[in-house]
Structure 1
Amino acid sequence: MVGRRVVAAEEWKRHWQLVLACSVGFSFMSFMTPAAGIFMESLSHAFGWSRTQLSAGIAISGVLSLLGSPFLGALIDRLGTRRIALPGIVLTALAIVGFSFANGSFAQWIGLWLFWGLVVLLIQSTVWSTAVASVFDAGRGLALGLTLSGTALANVIVPPLTDWLISSFGWRAAYVYLGLGWGGVALILSAFFLFDARDQYRLKGAGGPQARQGSAELPGLTIAQAWRSTELWRVAISSFLILLITIAVLIHQFPILLEAGVPRTKAAWLVSLAGAAGIAGKLVTGALIDRVHARWVGGITLASTAIAYPLLLEPIRSPVLIVIAMMISGYAAGTKIQLCGYLTARYAGLRNYGAIFGFMTSMIALASGIGPLLAGVSYDRYGSYAPLLIAGAVVSVISGILVLSLGQYPDWSTSNTEGERKA
């Protein structure tokens, strides 16, 4: 254990800048999710659109991610992350600015989301998690936690920032400031520090096919073996189920709080507080899964939201219970993609991590697209988010049980690509 901690410390000394760049890059990819809920009221007033219409764009971008993620993952395994992420950041910033030109045409609105959904593929979680997983081993859990805390960072900053930008400059200018400002910071950090194992290997001047591929010496499952892995299927199904409800609540949590009678300004800060809890969740979970099997940490954490969602229902909810619910939900929400990335690396190895996690990302994207749409339909049909919250409690328990049922990690230090189970 002491030796492993020494190795982890050395990894951090050499690669902390990469984690910083990836965390900010992932926050840039992620911030449109919490921002969408803040923009809903302004866009609804401007164009008369329903919650279902406002959620349709995210659903479409989720479908694009579903279709494109495995191909992107395979491309990452071949080219490395840097060559994909840098142009992706620039195009995503331009796509976000494009939302400022919305004119009330629903067809145009869908077109804007289609463009954003295509270019944001280049900076999705597969890119950042692959970069970090390729250079960290002993400290991988915490490194992935900090990297993927970018989404929690976005959840903290975006609600009050977006609300202030809309109130001060209008919703059109808010899109411009968010896209160019956040995107500019992400681009600078990635330009200086985004070098994964394949990039570093290439920069050392190694020749031959390994320098081009960069993945030949990495241990892990083949694609065919990954398809047969029951552990990976449990990780995928659990991630899909929990994110189906989590993203739905995340997108609509601002309207959910308004429906509960929370004033607009306080609602924005409560959403931000949940994002802060998400950062804590990633850090605590990252530290724990480097020491304890992730099935225990993940299973308990994912199931915990079954407690939170009912606290937002009438007649249970109260100001204190709403705060408690938001903290629990935020803490657990901060761990979901992190756990998926970590468990994928442990059960699949790194040989084809990009492609395999790309499939996981497709499941996440499908859930991200369907969840908000179902939440919008729930509200438009029933005039309440109660069905969504009740379903969320049930799904949380199922997802937690799936993670708890996982077996021991394969030992990828062996020459056998199937790996050997650690005792």
Structure 2
Amino acid sequence: MAALGVGLGVSGLLTYNAGLFARDLAGAIGLSRTAFGAAFFGSTLAMAAAMPLVGRLVDRFGPRAIAAFGAAMLSVGFLALSQVRSVTLYIIIVVLIGPLTAGSTPVPYTRAVSAAFDRARGGLALGLTQVGIGLAAAIVPPVIGLVIARQGWQHGFLALAMLAALGLLPALLGLPGRSPHSGSPGDEDHAAIRASSLFRLQYAAFCTMAFAFAGMLSHFVPMLREAGMPVERAGALAGLIGGSVIVTRILVGWLADRIEPAWLGCASCLVCA
């Protein structure tokens, strides 16, 4: 259920599919590549700013309510994008999707999974949870590409809205209402964590990787379409990224239980570079 939830969240549906709409929106509302990139970048920053709040809300109220709210807001966001008529409105909606749907990210699901395992909770179990994103990235872009090619970009956003609404099911049925761990970190605990060198190093690493991957993923399909590739073919190629994510999430999760995670992270970054 956790894998299904993260796959139907913003990480699985927006990141890997936003580029499918860029060329059609350019013709429909005059969306430039610069405006498209700025909207996605703004959404990413707004979501990043909201994530600490999401984490604390999950600690206080449990993962179920937070994940369900994020899924509902993601569906509403895609519905709003299907009716967009101007570049300004498109940018505003996409930027708002970032913080409002932050609850549909893997945070509530991985919180529940890590609390349910006493052993290897940082490795294989979490890797299997992240497989949901790979499945969504492999299956959804080719389907949405076909919908756009045959019925138009508005129906593409409507299809994504329906998929996001399905994300309510794993959130409501698969997550606990309250945090499985009794109690939650206090302000002093959070301050101590933020002040640690390990936290700052991980923060810097995650930000650097996020900038690189978000930039590549969002512009991958638009570059293919500018080269003359039909949207359905571009969507199919984008789906190959999802297939690789499925394999690597499981492999990296399994390896993280057996070798030093820091060296594993360094190797992954070097391969990507």
TM-score with structure 2 setting the length: 0.89
CA–CA distance in structure 2, aligned partners of residues 186 and 32 of structure 1: 13
Do the aligned residues in 1 keep the contact of 2:145 with 2:233 (CA within 8 Å)?
no
CA–CA distance in structure 2, aligned partners of residues 158 and 115 of structure 1: 23
1:129 matched to 2:110: yes
Between stretches 259-268 and 112-121, larger displacement belongs to 259-268
Aligned residue for 2:209, secondary structure, equals helix
Unaligned runs of 5+ in 1: 1-20, 202-209, 307-423
Q: Deviations over 1:115-140 (max 9, x none)?
A: 32232022223222212122123232
TM-score with structure 1 setting the length: 0.59
**After TM superposition, what 4+ stretches of structure 1 lie above 6 angstroms from structure 2?**
none
Q: What does residue 178 of structure 1 align with?
A: 160
1:285 matched to 2:252: yes
Do the aligned residues in 1 keep the contact of 2:46 with 2:96 (CA within 8 Å)?
no
CA–CA distance in structure 2, aligned partners of residues 173 and 267 of structure 1: 18
1:266 Cα deviation from its structure 2 partner: 3.9
1:101 Cα deviation from its structure 2 partner: 0.6
Aligned residue for 2:45, secondary structure, equals helix
1:64 matched to 2:31: no
Between stretches 154-163 and 283-292, larger displacement belongs to 154-163
Q: What does residue 80 of structure 1 align with?
A: 62
Aligned ranges 1:11-90 → 2 under 5 Å: 21-28=1-8, 29-30=10-11, 31-90=13-72
Give the letter for the 1:23 counterpart.
A
Give the letter for the 2:114 counterpart.
A
Quick one: structure 1 residues 265 and 91, their matched pair in 2 at CA, closer, same or farther if it must change by over 3 Å?
closer
Instruction: State how many pairs are aligned.
Output: 269
CA–CA distance in structure 1, aligned partners of residues 173 and 222 of structure 2: 39
CA–CA distance in structure 2, aligned partners of residues 161 and 171 of structure 1: 12
- Identity across matched positions, percent: 29
Give the letter for the 2:41 counterpart.
A
CA–CA distance in structure 1, aligned partners of residues 35 and 248 of structure 2: 32
Q: Deviations over 1:153-212 (max 9, x none)?
A: 2221222111111012211111112212x123321222221127x4457xxxxxxxx5xx
Q: What does residue 76 of structure 2 align with?
A: 94
Q: Which residue among 86, 102, 118 is the counterpart of 2:99?
A: 118
Give the letter for the 2:216 counterpart.
V
1:272 Cα deviation from its structure 2 partner: 0.9
1:215 matched to 2:195: no
Give the letter for the 2:102 counterpart.
L
Give the letter for the 2:55 counterpart.
G
1:229 Cα deviation from its structure 2 partner: 2.1
Aligned ranges 1:314-329 → 2 under 5 Å: none
1:285 Cα deviation from its structure 2 partner: 0.5
Unaligned runs of 5+ in 2: none
1:114 Cα deviation from its structure 2 partner: 3.7
Aligned ranges 1:219-258 → 2 under 5 Å: 222-258=189-225
Between stretches 254-263 and 124-133, larger displacement belongs to 254-263
Q: What does residue 266 of structure 2 align with?
A: 299
Between stretches 68-77 and 55-64, larger displacement belongs to 55-64
Larger-Rg structure: 1
Do the aligned residues in 1 keep the contact of 2:78 with 2:158 (CA within 8 Å)?
yes
Aligned ranges 1:192-211 → 2 under 5 Å: 192-195=173-176, 198-200=178-180, 210=182
Q: Which has the higher contact order (CA 8 A, sep 6+)?
A: 2
CA–CA distance in structure 1, aligned partners of residues 148 and 118 of structure 2: 43
Do the aligned residues in 2 keep the contact of 1:138 with 1:290 (CA within 8 Å)?
no
Instruction: Let me know the Cα RMSD of the aligned residues.
Output: 2.3
Quick one: structure 1 residues 147 and 60, their matched pair in 2 at CA, closer, same or farther if it must change by over 3 Å?
same
Do the aligned residues in 1 keep the contact of 2:145 with 2:234 (CA within 8 Å)?
no
1:264 Cα deviation from its structure 2 partner: 4.9
CA–CA distance in structure 2, aligned partners of residues 121 and 258 of structure 1: 29
Q: Deviations over 1:311-366 (max 9, x none)?
A: xxxxxxxxxxxxxxxxxxxxxxxxxxxxxxxxxxxxxxxxxxxxxxxxxxxxxxxx
Aligned residue for 1:222, secondary structure, equals helix
